[in-house]
Amino acid sequence: MGWDAFAAGVETLLASYRAIPSHARVRLAKKTSNLFRRRAKNPYPGLDVSGLDRVIEVDADAMTADVAGMCTYEHLVDATLPYGLAPLVVPQLKTITLGGAVTGLGIESTSFRNGLPHETVREMDVLTGAGEIVTVSPTNERSDLFFGFPNSYGTLGYSTRLKIELEKVDPFVELRHLRFDDVATLQETMDRIVTDRSHDGEVVDYLDGVVFSATESYLTLGRRSAEPGPVSDYTGTDIFYRSIQHPAASTPKRDRLTIHDYLWRWDTDWFWCSRAFGAQNPKIRRLWPKRLLRSSFYWKLIALDHRFDIADRLNARKGEPPNERVVQDIEVPIERTAEFIAWFLENIPIEPIWLCPLRLHEPLPTGADPSRPWPLYPLAPRHTYVNVGFWSAVPKIEGEPEGRANRLIERKVSELDGHKSLYSDSFYDEAEFDELYGGESYRLLRKHHDPGSRFLDLYAKAVKRQ
């Protein structure tokens, strides 16, 4: 992109901010989103971020990149892989933006050793509610905004530039799929791998898992490799998550991917959600254009469903109830993982579900609170958590309150000392939300960096869907 083009993009953004009436809430003018919660329509023009969608510069020697806030990870990876480098954490879907992953959190199979995307940021330029672009870092005079920015979902500002760390990668990833007949054993093995960074004498660089049922679950262990050789391709007929399954618990199934295809292994079928559109039916898949086997196209289909209630109309024709959307990522301490999954499989009829272990990256940045370094998200240092992702729908039950299944999940997660991401529907009351997501720290940040309340409050945005 270059610095001149970036500067022009910032000027366009500031001009669009000045065009928004002073009494109006400031929102993005983006046409697409990776959020699943509905929001009120904005009658006013939004922020024009169209000039902030690329990598500005890659410094291969320092292993850093300066990246515009609306750059997607697809473009970011395309810019770094030619140098043999990649972001420390690459979320699963190509159209997630770097700025979105930092303000809204992101996770992937390197998170057990690298933490979350915001922990790879060295400094940011942020558009505040006052219409100013400020530079924030762990040690400058605006460090409170640096630490408070993650999980603020645009309610404290929007990043225009982020300087991030990169890491070396090899051209290939060697995979081992380990099958388990019970989740408790999977939990124990996962915990040990996170600590040892190895399994059966082999280094583990990437780690995630899939639960198909109480008696069939898998951990996928990845190892960097520079050795040339044949690789699998899951961008066409073959489906990655189905390739994980195998009958023999004692013998891991092995596979091999290019680093590019490994990073995007989940995008082709949006994990397994493409089956809702028939894309996994062999007859349909043969006719489905390969360029449309990607999460961004499924998003368009979801948008049509939201607009016209297609799924509920089809259910009504069959005499079935409408669906409640259950699209969530939650985290529980690793020692409560098997307990949560057992409860989930018994109470919420959704499968498969995704598992991804994570630990906050160490050492913590200079100036971080050692007990809660990122005040808007309650992760404790030196403790392993497991992200559990489930993305589907369940039948609504007549007479039950809105969000019955989601409310049950929220209560269970809190009972197990866990928490959930805020990209989808939430039903917390204000007191519990306040306790979980920053409370007084958040209010002080709002007062300091958005004194005119130009941005929505986090509770209003995440729960009230304003």
Residue 162: pLDDT above 70?
A: yes
Instruction: Provide DSSP, 28-81.
Output: B--S--S--S--PPPSS--B--TT--SEEEEETTTTEEEEETT-BHHHHHHHHG
pLDDT band at 42 (very low <50, low <70, confident <90, very high): low
In angstroms, the CA 413 to CA 390 distance is 14
3-169+455-462 architecture in CATH?
Answer: 2-Layer Sandwich (3.30)
Domain with CATH 3.30.70 in the chain: 172-265
Q: What percent of the chain has pLDDT over 70?
A: 97
Average pLDDT over every residue of 184-211: 98
The domain made up of 172-265 has a fold known as Alpha-Beta Plaits (3.30.70)
Give the separation between CA 75 and CA 273, rounded to whole angstroms.
23
317: pLDDT strictly greater than 90 = no
403-434 pLDDT, tens digit per residue, is: 999 999 999 999 999 999 999 899 999 999 99
Q: What is the phi/psi pair of residue 69, to 5°?
A: -60, -30
Quote the Cα angle for 458-464-466, to 5°: 80
Region 354-378: mean pLDDT is: 92
What pTM, to 2 d.p., does this model score?
0.94
Task: Report the percent of the chain where pLDDT is more than 90.
Answer: 83
Total count of residues recorded for the chain: 466
What are the start and end residues of each CATH 3.30.465.10 domain in the chain? 3-169+455-462
Kindly indicate the confidence band of residue 34, based on its pLDDT and cuts at 50, 70 and 90. Answer: low
pLDDT of the residue at 305: 75
Average pLDDT across the chain, whole number: 93
CA distance 421 to 101: 11
